[in-house]
Chains A and B, each alone.
Chain A
Amino acid sequence: MPDQLIFAMEVTLNGLLNGVMYALVALGFVLIFKASGIFNYAQGVMALFAAMTLVGIQQGRVPFGHLINEIFGTDIHYFGWEVPALAAILLTALVMIGFAILAQRFVFRHLVGQEPIILFMATIGLAYFLEGVSDLMWGSEIRNLDVGLPQGINDSIDAVTFNLFGYGFFIDNLDITAAIVATVLVAGLIAFAQYTKQGRAMRAVADDHQAALSVGIKLNYVWVLVWSLAGIVALVAGIMWGSKSGVQFSLSLIALKALPVLMLGGFTSIPGAIIGGLIIGVGEALFEFAIGPMIGGATENWFAYVLALVFLVFRPQGLFGEKIIERV
């Protein structure tokens, strides 16, 4: 087999796994958009905040330590204990739920019935706010996140492909873990939406706010639920991306990587987010591999957007989005 083809196969495989990571972020968007019609730009910052909180709790950092020191002239940074990873993840999930309740109570409850663009702007405001809070709480330095996920090259794939092609593929264990976690997460979310009472309520609200209200579904409760779920998805995404490249400001920019995935898959479809993620992941990796070197590289910054744009011209609601019906 020619070398180029083998390389292309490796790139494709890595692209697929990368796509899963994008899909993980896109999922959080879809959840909120489906249930409340809010296009939540803050999703990426939520992932950053969740990862920061996780690291902070794990290492026993004092929240707002920097601020307290500045105001009272003290010098405290650590509580002096370390929390085990699992407990820290649970605590962070609680923090994200708390955040969901606060966001709903103080912001989005007051914006019910506003135009979508206003809600979108509010989430950008929320993103700024949360970013500032995250920096104030935990500082803005880059942090290492380690919750015991396997890292580094997967030896068995390396060995198998070496036997087959005489060239070992480099596949990161972390990416494989992420793919498994994402699959479990999606299966769990779909099961939740299909088979539980809360899930049914969620789908009802997604379908029609007023009809759901009139059969006695508490809108506020469902929205808090959805924001909590999105917060937990953000936590998972934060753990994956944080373990991969450290927890830092750029983590919040993964929201921007998720947007073309959303456009491609459709804003309202959970499977669409996954498939969109895979298409973007592979397309981007192959384009950078094949054409990137010819035109200066770093094409992954924009390729996803242009690909999604071309798709949209032919299918304005994305691959799996609900058909846009316009009435006068």
Chain B
Amino acid sequence: MFYREAGDFKTSYADDSQTFPIAFDRYRYYAVLAVALGIIPFVITDYWASAILIPFLIYAIAAIGLNILTGYCGQVSLGTGGFMAVGAYTSYKLMTAFPGMDMVTVTLLSGAMTAMVGVMFGLPSLRIKGFYLAVATLAAQFFLVWLFNKVPWFYNYSASGQITAPERLLFGHAVTGPNAEAWVKYLFCLAFVFVLAWVARNLTRGAMGRQWMAIRDMDIAAEIIGVNPLRAKLSAFAVSSFYVGVAGALLFTVYLGAVEVGEAYGIQKSFLVLFMIIIGGLGSLFGSFAGAAFMVLLPVALKVLLVDTMGWDTALATHFQFVIVGGLIMFFLIVEPHGLARLWSLAKEKLRLWPFPH
């Protein structure tokens, strides 16, 4: 009834190829934007920002990045944590070496640096496939974390080996550092999410995205019909790493503020982002958001339920959290291996006929 293509006539090519061709999708998108820009910044509190909203936005960027590589191009990567660390350390070096540089440039340059590193570690993907590649990307994970731990130049020879984000202003408001206000951090991350999601959406609809998907579905066949596997795979690695690097940089500068590399960007982070895209849905931008929201909300919800409501021991609740997260992942994979995005499209299918199913 509400969700339908019928009666939605397009009179120009521009109309037909717009990002959301179906009116209902478009209105939903405007509504989400209106809430995100018009309501949340005015009611946001520190708790909401640091527990839910900012991690959600940052992980959404990382999930989109990994989804481009794994979901769209079919190259499984377990090196996300390491690439995020590249973004974080690049932004740290830039912020300390060029105090005058503004945060947007710093973040984008961090992404660019990560893209270069990503391409380097993506080179073996031309020879190595499937699980062998997944394990090979672990080399990136372990090597990069080790590198940032062992080479003092990266953490400016600080005694603790940690990196701490100095305060930087954007339009007169602190974005990083302890004095940054919740709504500034939120809007800063939101801006990145908005632009990067829009770019990703259009990349995956365009020629490049089609090449990635052709490689994913069958690389030899794709090569035969004229897709250059070298360009397609490496461009996927570059774009994906750019996103992941931006997410890593934001995680450090805006969210955590101070970082110890093994703890913040360890192998657990790689798995976390991989869970997000699997639970959200491979090859779906909506899935990246849904998966990020799910994995960010789940521990918070469990903590509220077990510790705050039922008064359990924190250690015990942590153990339960493992059991529940593990169980939910298996449950999801059994019930809906294509993730939340598939559930969403099923719901849309139902909405199309509702309330007259015949």
Contacts and interface: CB of A to CB of B under 8 A. Distances in A.
Nearest to A131: B322
Nearest to A123: B330
Prevailing SS type, chain A contact patch: helix
Contacts of A296: 150-151
Interface string B202-232: 0000000000000000101100100000000
Interface string A299-316: 101100110110011001
A256 B132 CA distance: 14
A302 B146 contact: yes
A246 B135 CA distance: 27
Interface in B110-161: 124, 127-132, 134-136, 138-139, 142-143, 145-146, 149-151
A215 interface: no
Interface string A48-76: 00000000000000000011001000000
B333 A298 contact: no
A15 interface: no
A128 B329 contact: yes
A131 B325 CA distance: 11
Interface in B39-96: 76
A5 interface: no
Nearest to B278: A121
Contact of A70 (B267, B312, B325): B312
A117 B333 contact: no
B98 to A, nearest CB: 27
Nearest to A107: B330
Interface stretch (A155-163, A164-172, A200-208, A259-267): A259-267
Given A128-B325, A312-B124, A312-B128, A259 B330 contact: no
Interface residues of B, number: 49
B29 interface: no
B263 interface: no
A133 interface: yes
**Residue of A39, A133, A136, A263 with most chain B CB atoms under a 10 A cut-off:** A263
B128 A122 contact: no
**Residue of A114, A122, A127 with most chain B CB atoms under a 10 A cut-off:** A122
B97 interface: no
B327 interface: yes
A136 B267 contact: no
A324 B275 CA distance: 28
A116 B326 contact: no
A146 interface: no
B263 to A, nearest CB: 14
A145 to B, nearest CB: 21
Closest 9 pairs (CB-CB, A-B): A129-B326, A132-B322, A128-B326, A125-B329, A132-B323, A305-B139, A296-B150, A302-B142, A135-B319
Interface of B: 76, 124, 127-132, 134-136, 138-139, 142-143, 145-146, 149-151, 218, 220-221, 224, 267, 271, 274-275, 278, 312-313, 315-316, 318-330, 333-334, 337
Given A132-B320, A302-B143, A328-B224, 15 more contacts: A70-B313, A107-B330, A115-B337, A117-B76, A125-B330, A125-B333, A130-B326, A256-B267, A267-B131, A299-B146, A301-B145, A316-B128, A318-B132, A324-B129, A328-B221
